[in-house]
Amino acid sequence: MSIDEPQRTGRTDSSGDALRFCSIDDDDALRAALRFCIRVFDSSAAPMFPSEGRHTFHAFVMSGVIEQAVHEGRAQMYVCYDGDAAAGVLCMRDGNHISLLFVDDSHRRMGIATQLLGMALVGRQGEITVNAAPTGYEFYLSRGFEFTDTEELREGLIFTKMVLR
Does the predicted TM-score (pTM) go above 0.75?
yes
Q: Look at residue 117 in the predicted model and tell me its pLDDT.
A: 97
pLDDT in tens, 17-59: 679 999 999 999 999 999 999 999 999 989 999 999 999 999 9
Helices of type H across 41-135 = 51-62, 65-71, 112-121
SS3 of 38, please? helix
Percent of the chain at pLDDT > 90 equals: 87
| Strands, E assignment, 1-103 | 7-12, 18-24, 75-82, 85-93, 97-103
- Say whether pLDDT at 83 is over 60: yes
Element (H, E) at 129: strand 128-132
Q: Look at residue 17 in the predicted model and tell me its pLDDT.
A: 62
| Range of weakest confidence among 9-23, 38-52, 94-108, 114-128 | 9-23
- Say whether pLDDT at 122 is over 60: yes
Q: Look at residue 22 in the predicted model and tell me its pLDDT.
A: 95
pLDDT in tens, 128-145: 999 999 999 999 999 999
Element (H, E) at 105: none
Q: Look at residue 66 in the predicted model and tell me its pLDDT.
A: 96
Tell me the average pLDDT across 89-97: 96
Structural domains in the chain plus CATH codes: 7-125 (3.40.630.30)
